[in-house]
Amino acid sequence: MQELIRENSINKDWISIGGLTDKINSILGSSHNREVRKKILITLKDMVEGHARNKEKVIEHQGFDYIVPCLGRDRSISMAAVELLYELLQDRSKWNESFCCQLSQQSSAILFLVTLLKGPVRESADHAEKILNKLFDVDEENISRAAKSGWYKPLIDRIVQGPESSRMSMMKALVTMELVDSNLKVLGEEGIIPPLLSMVASGNIELKELSLSVLVKLSSCHANKELIATGGGVPLVLKLMFSPHVCTILIVRCSEIVEKLSSEGNGVKFFVDEKGVQLELEPIIRELLALQQNSKSSNNFRRPALHALLGMCRSEAKLVKTAVLTANGVSLVLPLLDDPDSEIREIAVNLLFLFSQHESQGVVEYLLMPKRLEGLVGFLENDYNSDVKMAAAGLLANLPKSETSLTKKLIELDGLPAIINLLKSGSMEAKEHALSALFRFTDPANVKSQQIVVEHGAYPLFVNFLKVNSVTAKARAAALIGNLSMSSPKLTVASEKTGCWCFRTSCVPVCPAHGGICNVNTSFCLLEAKALPYIVKLLHDEVEETAYEAIQTLSTLVQDGCTQRGAIVLHDAGAINPVLDILTWGTDSLKGEAVGLLEKVFISKEMVDSYGTKARYLLVGLTGRNVHDDSLLGRKVAKVLSLVERYSKSSTSIIPGLF
């Protein structure tokens, strides 16, 4: 057939009359042979080139149905297919409108043509682009189909310079598209954001709403946030959002954009003008809070506005202070704990956690009202949102420990088990907040509350936290153990003796620190809890925060009444040398705590005999041999030196004038 066509173009008519056109067209639709497909496509192109009747016959016999799938085959077949397709659509020097409309109805045609357009074969790409541009004229819907297939330029061109109806239809299509981050980034790179911002600034309400909706979608991508900011979009959106008499839907869309800008830890990074200059943030915080005042306000913009407020406050501590002190944030957010919308309630807890660092009294008063505290306990028990559990624990941690009525009510409402359960699961940050919240329940002045904490199995959890990587968790766990250990001396059961010394009870060992019968659950003894080695290890780590709490906890073993025994326990545990070492590396505050512990240890002559030489050297070095230093640390050092000297084997003081 190819040979006949080359001999004489009139043979195209005879081939068609002989039914060969229909025959090879049907073979194209049924053959799975690559070479056969390729030869048929080339032959059909030769047959239809400049021959209107043969074009009609190919299309009448399902030609598009057979040719379009070939566009998605390998390079040689797809190239032959697109060349044939281009030829079929030509009508002398123009396009055949009817054939173009028929091709437009092929659902996969746009996808295959866009793939060829982006492919490496220049000839195929040129033909594909020409066909696509014609199909866009035939049906504007094809532009959005091309965009869904990854070619965005025609869509952007229509949004930039198309008629209003076309711009609106393109934006509507874009809003409904499912786009991943890479697609959104390409849209931004190809220049869609500036025209959208122009429509926000000067368009009618419908255009504003559509352009804002597209910007909401685009602002999910980090790169686009940058483009919105550099394009001056942030002041524009904020101005519209906070303007009076603006319709709700525009406020909703603006709120969603502001939420996206502050999300993912970005905080206030993108709150700049087109020159990159930071916007004044305090008015923004006040306005975001003001949006919450009207109880009839739509949740559709209250939610994103709260999210934006939370994102900004998390990134800038000074904004939390602004929200609390100048914008009356606590009183505005507290009522949101009762909001019917669960998401708003959860954001409110997160905000109040931040606000409570600056103003906690109002929160306490609110929570002590009927039914309020139950809600907070409910957040602690929320198994679906770990973030809100963490915030609720953090909020409780920030509330004054002196509010004993709050502590009592939390125990009554089973808030304590919920906090302890947080120690077993969740992020390390949540666990740190839970540990901090437990300080109000372990006050040595309230042994009954301590007992409840221990009964709920918290003590072993505290010991386990001494082994984790988090410095904060270690320090808080050590401090909690110290609180419990403070109560041990008065809870220790005195060991009983029988009438005759030879029948003295020996089945229950006496605690070496407390001189009686100890137990984790009854006397909170840290020795029985196997915590002592881990407390001592905190000293060896030479970390200020954990060493400070370790010394405080070790000091509970040398309280009045058990000083001698406690000193021996510390000696046996290898605790005294690392305490002395603190005098070489600790801060003045930490050194002061170490010296305070040594003062209790060196009441024992045996301890002075063991450590006196090292202690003299370090203590004298600490004061620069000025034992008359009148600072608090200096006075403490002088006192310990006097103890060391009292038990010195030498009758001569090593420091002239000390006595």
Q: In this structure, what CATH number is given to the domain that contains residue 123?
A: 1.25.10.10
Q: Taking 60 as the threshold, does the pLDDT of residue 625 lie above it?
A: no
Inside any domain, residue 577: no
pLDDT score of 296: 60
Lookup: tokens for 659: 């006595």
Report how far residue 285's alpha carbon sits from residue 273's, in angstroms, rounded to the nearest whole number.
Answer: 17
Q: What would the pLDDT profile of 345-371 be if each residue is shown by its tens digit?
A: 999 999 999 999 888 888 888 888 888
Cβ atoms 375, 337 nearer than 8 A: yes
- In this predicted structure, what is the pLDDT of residue 496? 62
Q: Is residue 186 part of a domain?
A: no
Mean pLDDT over residues 562-587, rounded?
Answer: 95
For residue 95, the SS3 value is strand
Residue 543: count of CB within 10 angstroms of its CB: 14
Give the CA distances from residue 116 to residues 108, 120, 123, 126, 479, in Å, rounded to whole numbers and listed in that order: 13, 8, 10, 9, 68
Residue type, 166: S
Give yes or no for residue 628 having a pLDDT over 80.
Answer: no
Could you tell me which residues come within 8 angstroms of residue 63 by beta carbon, excluding any fewer than 6 positions away?
25, 44, 88
Average pLDDT, the chain: 90
Determine the Cα–Cα distance for residues 634 and 626; give it in Å rounded to an integer: 8
- Domain membership flag for residue 279: no
Q: What pLDDT, on the 0 to 100 scale, is given for residue 185? A: 95
Whole-prediction pTM? 0.82
> Residue 505 — very low, low, confident or very high, per pLDDT cuts 50/70/90?
very low
Question: Does any domain span residue 423?
Answer: no
Gap between the terminal Cα atoms of the chain = 125
* 437 Cβ contact list (under 8 Å, min separation 6): 393, 394, 396, 397, 419
pLDDT computed for residue 128 by the predictor = 97
Backbone torsions φ then ψ of 251, nearest 5 degrees:
-65, -40
Percent of the chain at pLDDT exceeding 90 = 71
Out of 325-329, 470-474, 502-506, least confident range = 502-506
Cβ partners under 8 Å of residue 117, min gap 6: 125, 128, 129, 132, 151
How many of the other CB atoms lie within 10 Å of CB of 626?
12
Mean pLDDT of 64-90: 94
Q: Does 562 map to a domain? A: no
Asked if the model's pLDDT at residue 3 lies above 50, the reply is yes
Domain assignment present for residue 104? The answer is: yes
- Mean pLDDT to the nearest integer, 610-635: 78
Predicted confidence (pLDDT) per residue in 16-65, tens digit: 888 888 888 889 888 889 999 999 999 999 999 988 899 999 999 889 99
The answer to whether the CB of 266 falls within 8 A of the CB of 224 is no
* 374-408 pLDDT, tens digit each: 989 999 988 778 889 999 999 999 999 999 999 99
- Return d(Cα 167, Cα 572) in angstroms, integer: 82
* pLDDT higher at 494 or 270: 270
Q: Is the dihedral of CA 393, 318, 298, 198 positive or negative?
A: negative
User: Would you say residue 53 lies in a domain?
Assistant: yes
CA-based max dimension of the chain: 135
- CA torsion 44-50-51-56 (nearest 10°) is 70
Which residue in the block uniquely carries the two structure tokens 């801060």? 587
Q: Tell me the pLDDT tens digit for each residue of 236-264.
A: 999 999 998 899 999 999 999 999 999 99
The better pLDDT of the pair 327, 222 is held by: 222
Q: What is the mean pLDDT of residues 616-620?
A: 91
Helices 386-398 and 342-355, axial angle in degrees (round to 10): 40
Q: Give pLDDT, residue 498.
A: 43
Directed axis angle between helix 471-486 and helix 458-465, to 10°?
A: 140
Q: How many domains does the chain have?
A: 1
Q: Which domain holds residue 109?
A: 1-150
The answer to whether residue 305 sits within a structural domain is no
